[in-house]
Amino acid sequence: SLTAEGLKKKNMEERLKTYRKTREMFGKLTFASVTKSAPGELTVSLLDADLAPHEFIFAVETKDPFKLISVSRKELRAGHGGFGFHH
C-alpha cells in the first residue's frame, strides 16, 4: 500500500501510466538481485524480456506499517556519462 505523501506527489492514475509505459518498454521484469539495501530503501536489479538488467529503487517507510513511498528506475543516459532517475 502507498503512503498518502507518495500519492500526493504522484496519484494512482499517473502511477498506472508509468507502470504501463514501463511494461511496454521492458516487457515482463524478472528479479535478478539486490544491489543495495538500506533502511527505507532497496535497490534491485530486474531483467527485462531481453535479459538486459535495469535498476529499480523502492523507497519505503522505516516504521510500521512500512508502506511504499515510491519506485524509481535508475537509467543510463547516453551521452551524459552518468545515471539519471525516472520516477
pTM: 0.74
* Cα-based angle 10, 13, 16 (whole degrees, multiple of 5): 95
Please tell me the distance from the alpha carbon of residue 68 to that of residue 58, in angstroms, as a whole number: 7
**Average pLDDT estimate for 37-46:** 97
Check residue 55 and give left, alpha or beta (phi > 0: left; psi -120 to 50: alpha).
beta
Whether the Cβ atoms of residue 73 and residue 55 lie closer than 8 Å to each other: yes
**Average pLDDT estimate for 19-44:** 95
Q: Which helix (H) or strand (E) holds 24?
A: helix 12-26
pLDDT higher than threshold 90 for residue 81: no
pLDDT digits (tens, 9 = 90+) for 45-56: 999 999 999 999
